[in-house]
Structures are given as C-alpha cells and as structure tokens.
Amino acid sequence: MTSLLERFLTPSLRAELGGLRTARGFGLDDLIRSGVANPDSSVGVYAPDAESYATFAALLEPIVLAHHELTELPEVSPTDALFEREHPVLDGVVSTRIRVARNLAGHALPAGLDRDERRAVEAALVDALRSLPGDLAGTHHRLVDLSPDERRGLIGDHLLFKDGDRFLEAAGITRDWPDGRGIFLSDDRRLVAWVNEEDHLRLISMQDGGDLGEVADRLGRAHAHLAARLEFASDPRLGRLASCPSNLGTGMRASVHARPAEVDAAVWRARGIQVRGVHGEHSEAAGGVYDLSPIRRLGVTPDDVLETLAAACRLS
C-alpha cells in the first residue's frame, strides 16, 4: 500500500516546502514524521497546528482531495447543530457508534502540544464536559488515576483509546503519556468523550443495536451543549480542523459493527465504505464482526454520512 504522503511528496515539493515554518515553529518534518516512520500509513501526515493546513497547502490539499475523493475543496459552513433529518433503525446490526473529532481554537493540535498546553486543553474540556445535563451527565476520569486493570477493562468494552499506537507515537501525539489525557463517561456509558488522544476531543455516542436516530440525537445534543461553551477550530474550505486530514469536514465517523456477507474491502470502498476490524484501524475482525463506516467526511453533511451508512447496511 502506498500512503498519500508517499504519493504526493515529490523531491521537488519537499525542497520547496523544506524551509517553511508556521508561527509556532512547526516545519515539514513535523507533519510527515509519522508517515516516514510508518510507510504502511494510509495517509501519513498529522498537522501539529491549524496553520499547517495553509503553510503546507501544496502537500496537504492534494492529500485531502485524494482521501475525500474530491476534485476541489468545497465551501463548507460548520454548524453546532449536527443533524436535521430523522434516521432509521438498522436491521442486523450488533452496535452503532457515531463520533466527532474537535479541536479547540487557539491551541496547537495534539502533535504540537507541550505538557503545559495539553493540560490547559484538558482543563477547558473537563470543565465543559462536567456541565452536561440530564442523561448526558457523567464523570471524567484522568488516565493517570486509572489502574492498568481499569484501563484494560474500558478498552475491552470499546470505551477507551489504546496506548502504544505507533502511528500516533511517531507523530509526537503520545508525548508525556498519560499526562493530560482522560475519558468522560455518562452514567449510562452511552456518551463518551476522549480528551487529548489524536484530537483534543473525540465525542462519541454509542449503544447496542441499530437505532441510528437515537445515537445521533444523543450526540447532537451533547455537541450543541459543548459548542456553546467552547470554540472549535474550523476553516471555510476544510470544515472542522483535525490532526489527520481524513477527519476534516464534518469530523464525524459513523460506524456499525455487523456481520456482512461480503467482506472484500474493494467492494465496500466502491460503495463509499471503509471496512476494518472491531478494534479500529489496523485491527482484525472478531467472530465475523466487522466495522463499517462511510469514508467521506468533507463535502458532505453529517446527515449525508448517516444516510450513506444506512444504505450500506441495507446491502450487507
């Protein structure tokens, strides 16, 4: 597999961009470190700050267009209200999960955070998360306060992110691990927030079964509440800004765990769907259960993403 970094970073472009720096001092090597260390990356770049998308646009824009299968960058208008349409209950689905990636405006992205700034991001997010009302309310747990057994249990329940990711480690995203990271769990464990993993915030709504509408409603209410208290980094052409170009646009990944009759990745990609193992990218299927998720997040609305997923499930 050829990464998008390898595909687009020609020797001449590397020479052209090699001397550029963002205002925070980040250069080309900071963007491509993970992809160079891991040639099997699918994308191969992680932006260390928002300005990188402008400073290194000659590299990043072709990567963005190729990943999202676009010919030009669209004009987008990110809104705090995620969903405007109703969505169905999906048959034959083991579980449903929708998450959005968000980063706070005015801060470096996780690959560029030092310890003090990471802690400042954590404090702002924890303060907002603790204000979630009603069925969204819950408790924030700092990773440093969780025992190894507690962490393993949460990972096994598909609630907590894993450490030891070589792609994130090479990018510098796991620097100072586990300091400044945490997980928020609603009381019913159907709303989860990851703090300072690949992005500042991963807000996740999840539950067993295929009630796509209920999962979306929960996420939409939580996102609107947090967006009223926090400023999320956005761009008029790239949408919500994220560490990895694959998460630009809606920043949303909607997925189901299911047992599809067809498991050929090429067939699913032609339908706009990524197939991967149940423990995330680079993992394997478990008991015939696969993770199915729409690929495009830029140039589409959150409702469009869910409708693509629903259509794919009808074919599975």
Residues 180-184, mean pLDDT to the nearest whole number: 96
Per-residue model confidence (pLDDT) at position 282: 47
- State the pLDDT at residue 9: 98
For residues 103-132, give the mean pLDDT.
98
d(CA 177, CA 14): 31
The pLDDT tens digits of the residues spanning 251-264 come to: 999 999 998 887 78
- Asked if 4-68 and 93-315 have one fold, the answer is no
Fold of 93-315: Creatine Kinase; Chain A, domain 2 (3.30.590)
Domain ranges of the chain: 4-68, 93-315
- DSSP annotation of 70 reads -
Entry pTM: 0.93
3-state secondary structure 79-143: CCCCCCCCCCECCCEEEEEEEEEECECCCCCHHHCCHHHHHHHHHHHHHHHCCCCHHHCEEEEEH
Q: Residue 130: its pLDDT value, please?
A: 97
Residue 163: pLDDT band by 50, 70, 90 thresholds?
A: confident
Q: What secondary structure, in 3-state letters, does 248-316 show?
A: CECCEEEEEEECCCCCCHHHHHHCCEEEECCCCCCCCCECCEEEEEECCCCCCCHHHHHHHHHHHHHHC
Which residue is associated with the tokens 């079964």? 209
* Cross-strand partners of 258: 93, 290
For the ranges 8-22, 50-64, 293-307, which has the lowest average pLDDT? 293-307
Question: Is the per-residue pLDDT at 197 higher than 80?
Answer: yes
Neighbours of 150 (CB within 10 A): 13
Query: What DSSP letter does each residue of 28-47 carry, written as one string?
Result: HHHHHHHHHH-TT-SS----
Count of C-beta atoms within a 10 Å radius of residue 69:
12
Distance between CA atoms of residues 144 and 142, nearest Å:
5
Provide the CB-side half-sphere exposure for 68 (13 A, CA).
29
pLDDT band at 8 (very low <50, low <70, confident <90, very high): very high
Residue 297, both tokens: 């997040």
d(Cα 98, Cα 297) in Å, to the nearest integer?
12
Q: Dig out the tokens for 158 from the structure.
A: 């598909």
Residue 307 has pLDDT above 70, yes or no: yes
Confidence of residue 269 (pLDDT cuts 50, 70, 90): confident
pLDDT band at 159 (very low <50, low <70, confident <90, very high): confident
pLDDT tens, position by position, 40-57:
999 999 999 999 999 999
Which whole number is the average pLDDT over 114-134?
98
- In eight-state DSSP terms, residue 22 is -
Report the pLDDT value the prediction gives residue 76, as an integer from 0 to 100. 82
Helix, strand, coil percentages (3-state) for the chain, rounded to 5, are 35, 20, 45
Note whether 111 and 46 are within 8 A (CB). Answer: yes
Give the CATH architecture of domain 4-68.
Answer: Orthogonal Bundle (1.10)
In degrees and rounded to multiples of 5, residue 21 shows phi and psi of -140, 145
Residue 28 has pLDDT above 70, yes or no: yes
